[in-house]
Amino acid sequence: MSDIQFSRRDFLKLTAFGAAAVAGTRLVKEAQASSSSPSGEHQWAMVIDQSKCTGCNYCTLACKAHNDVAPENNWNVVTQTGEVGGHQVFIARPCMHCEHAPCVEVCMVGASYYRDDGIVMMDYDKCIGCRYCEAACPYQARVFNWEKFEGKNPTVPEWGAPEVERRPRGVPEKCSFCYHRIDRGLSLGLTPGVDRDATPACVNACPTKARLFGDLNDAESEVSKILKNHVSYRLRDDLATGTRVYYLPADPKEMDVEVES
Amino acid sequence: MIANLRAKFTSNTWTLWLVFLGLLLAIGLASGILIFWKGLGITNLTDLVPWGLWITIDLSSIALSAGAFSLCAAVYLIGLKRYEPVARTATFIGLIGYTMAMLSLMLDIGRPDRFWHAVVYWNTHSLLWEVTMCVCLYLTVLVLEAMPIIANFEWLKNRFPKLTAKMEHVHHYAPYLAIAGLCLSMLHQSSLGAVYGVLKARPFWYKPEMAVLFMFSAIVGGISLTIFASMLSARVTPRAKINDSLLERLAHFVGWALVPYLYFRAWDWLAMTYTYQPGRTEGLEVMTKGPLSFNFWVAEILLGAIVPMILLLKQSTRQNRFWRMAALAMVVGGVIAYRWDINLSGFLVVVSYLPGQPTVTYTSYFPSLVEIGAGLGVIAFGLTAFSLGVRYLKVVDHRYTSEAHETVKGEVPKTVLA
């Protein structure tokens, strides 16, 4: 009897160690994978110039059409924040595509993830709809599909045509920097931020050119140059999320120039 | 004649009780079907308050199941053997509680058809991943621990005597299961608090003590529910047999455990008072002065901790069965109120992302009828399972002592009824 007892104990021990070893290796591997800083060839960023933004909401409408977003959902929200020198000042808020994104960190199934180029992506087929990401996002950038979006999209065709699949009921969705436009554009040899066909819809739609898009790895890109020469800030920088959306604060001088010209 | 009448009366109340539970279960089932069919759009949940009543039920049923791991550890690891029959009750309650948690989560997630993704796809950085893993493993431990209890079912015993003998044999591994249960429970009971505690976007939650407080309140609430449910069963049915002196000692422990719990709660609240961090001060005010203030001061602090602490530490009230039961029910209510308040006070305060000092706005939440209906269904499921357990599985039989198990020798299992 004691023989059986020993072997059973040994077996249990072995099993436990084996399971722990497998889990441990996997943990270490995953930790390494996600702690490494983004290494992609491109690092996309958006610059929004508050001196130029007039709060017309064209960006929101173009976004809704190109990404086929339901009327009650907003991936891009424009808010009036105050006045400078007699001019209204607005702020447009897409997804910030944080370098240390709280939504990616908390997602239990890894449905929110980083691309090499820094875009924070949603895998709508993986998501189970627990909404932990909504609780974690400091920018309220995520909207949940409480209902199924059925019927006509009122922004189509006036503001563009849908380029991505509609999301199902029961998953949260958010701005993707129009990754599909970037990817298709790059494959055609275009430059995102320069060529319209490779640039996010909101940037194209902006009538005052308040939005710029480009590659931070490219020193000659418009975003790199403007961030070098202008004062800029990021939203909730105190949280150290490392957002990829930069804002140029409203400058009354620039706003006056615009009016004069 | 009198005995006859009494038997008739008890069987009638049993039927009435079952009818009542059946009604609630039907409401729950109807609400559940409605939710799966129509989606979460028919709830009062919003993008600002994405977690509500169901998450409170989920958190509360996990917390109130903590009697299982605490008492199993006490019996099989610390060696307080005399509490073994109480640990048995607690284990059964734990199994029910975790099943209730699973049910409410199935209602709550947007894609219940993908629930299995939680096990298959891993993000090891997510607290919820860790909680999922622990809960799944611990549910397995609970099922194993409950095997000898389920083997008590007369029909099963007569029909499959070999199977029930095997199921009873699982009891030999109780100490190992207790170790696994202790580790897994310590991890996820505290991690459920940390789920909130790691969110820097929500200053009211973002603090290390969330994990500690969840853990503490779970142990206190879980043991309280075990004692309360045992005493209540013994009051309403002769099938439940309790050893009152055992339960009184356990209640005494709860009384003492409430002291450090209250101490931690007090510091948690005091330490937040003077931070003036946008969102944190407001979150605290929602709880202490705002819409949740009655819950906080009365349900959580006064009735949830201070009053039961006094009632359970004072010998005369502790020995009085009515006051002891009242005190334990208050502790259970306090833990549920704590989960509800913590979840909401973090969500009701919305911190802006706009430039400059973050400003704060408020939102509101009250569960819709369909949420309440489905929630009642989940609770009714728990009550039904426990009632059936008391009636058919001798779940509350504190005279019951199982065979010795610390010597793993493979003897023929035999049940000793004292």
Cβ A235–B124 below 8 Å, yes or no?
no
In a domain, B73, yes or no: yes
**Closest of B196, B343, B188, B133 to residue A108, by C-alpha:** B133
Domains in chain B, number: 1
> Among partner residues B108, B122, B125, which is closest to A105 by beta-carbon distance?
B125
Strand pairing class (A120-122; A112-114): antiparallel
At residue B274, the pLDDT reads 85
Summarize the confidence of residues B92-112 as an average pLDDT. 96
At residue B143, the pLDDT reads 95
Residues of A in contact with B111 (CB under 8 A): 127-129, 168, 170-171
In a domain, B11, yes or no: no
B33 falls in which pLDDT band (50, 70, 90)?
Answer: very high
- How far CA A124 is from CA of A129, B97, B113, B406, in Å, comes to 9, 31, 13, 50
Task: For an interface test with A, give the residue of B108, B124, B371 to mutate (most A CBs within 10 A).
Answer: B124
In a domain, B411, yes or no: no
> Among partner residues B43, B118, B354, which is closest to A79 by beta-carbon distance?
B354
Got the DSSP string for B296-350? IIIIIIIIIIIHHHHHHHSHHHHHSHHHHHHHHHHHHHHHHHHHHHHHHHHHHEE
Judged by a CB distance cut-off of 8 A, whether residue A124 touches chain B is: no
At residue B276, the pLDDT reads 85
pLDDT at A34 over 60: no
Q: Which residue would you say has higher pLDDT here, A163 or B356?
A: A163
Do A21 and A47 lie in one domain? The reply is no
- B79 to chain A, closest Cα gap in Å: 21
Residues B62 and B101 sit within 8 Å (Cβ to Cβ): yes
Do A23 and A75 lie in one domain? The reply is no
What type of residue sits at position A190? L
Do A115 and A30 lie in one domain? The reply is no
At residue A193, the pLDDT reads 95
In a domain, B417, yes or no: no
Do A30 and A54 lie in one domain? The reply is no
Q: Which two tokens stand for residue B38?
A: 């129509």
pLDDT at B389 over 70: yes
Do A27 and A60 lie in one domain? The reply is no
Residues of A in contact with B121 (CB under 8 A): 109-111, 126
Q: Which two tokens stand for residue B373?
A: 């209906």
Got the DSSP string for B50-66? ---HHHHHHHHHHHTTH
Residues of B in contact with A107 (CB under 8 A): 123, 126
Do A18 and A141 lie in one domain? The reply is no
Do A26 and A125 lie in one domain? The reply is no
Do A26 and A113 lie in one domain? The reply is no
Residues A247 and A96 sit within 8 Å (Cβ to Cβ): no
At residue B271, the pLDDT reads 86
At residue B59, the pLDDT reads 97
In a domain, B418, yes or no: no
* Chain B contacts in chain A segment 26-85 (CB below 8 A): 26-27, 30-31, 34, 79, 81
Residues A171 and A145 sit within 8 Å (Cβ to Cβ): yes
The Cβ of residue B33 has, within 10 Å, a number of other Cβ atoms equal to 11
Q: What is the CATH number of the domain that holds B175?
A: 1.20.1630.10
Do A71 and A3 lie in one domain? The reply is no
Q: What global pTM score does this model have?
A: 0.88
Cβ A144–B39 below 8 Å, yes or no?
no
pLDDT at B415 over 90: no
Q: What is the CATH number of the domain that holds A174?
A: 3.30.70.20
Pairwise CA distance, residues B287 & B291, whole Å:
7
- The residue range of the domain holding B169 is 17-405
Do A1 and A47 lie in one domain? The reply is no
At residue B273, the pLDDT reads 85
Residues B138 and B184 sit within 8 Å (Cβ to Cβ): yes
> Among partner residues B123, B354, B409, which is closest to A1 by beta-carbon distance?
B409
pLDDT at A37 over 80: no
B5 falls in which pLDDT band (50, 70, 90)?
Answer: low
Cβ B201–A249 below 8 Å, yes or no?
no
> Among partner residues A107, A131, A148, which is closest to B39 by beta-carbon distance?
A148
B405 falls in which pLDDT band (50, 70, 90)?
Answer: very low
Cβ A235–B201 below 8 Å, yes or no?
no
Do A91 and A25 lie in one domain? The reply is no
Do A82 and A115 lie in one domain? The reply is yes
Residues B354 and A50 sit within 8 Å (Cβ to Cβ): no
Domains in chain A, number: 2
Q: To the nearest whole percent, how much of chain B has pLDDT over 70?
A: 93
Between vectors from CA B163 to CA B157 and to CA B166, what angle results, nearest 5°? 110
Q: Which residue would you say has higher pLDDT here, B102 or B358?
A: B102
Residues B229 and B396 sit within 8 Å (Cβ to Cβ): yes
Summarize the confidence of residues A150-156 as an average pLDDT. 93
**Closest of B155, B99, B151, B145 to residue B383, by C-alpha:** B99
> Among partner residues B45, B124, B408, which is closest to A27 by beta-carbon distance?
B124
In a domain, B330, yes or no: yes
**Closest of B406, B389, B378 to residue B148, by C-alpha:** B389
- The residue range of the domain holding A22 is 1-36
What type of residue sits at position B6? R
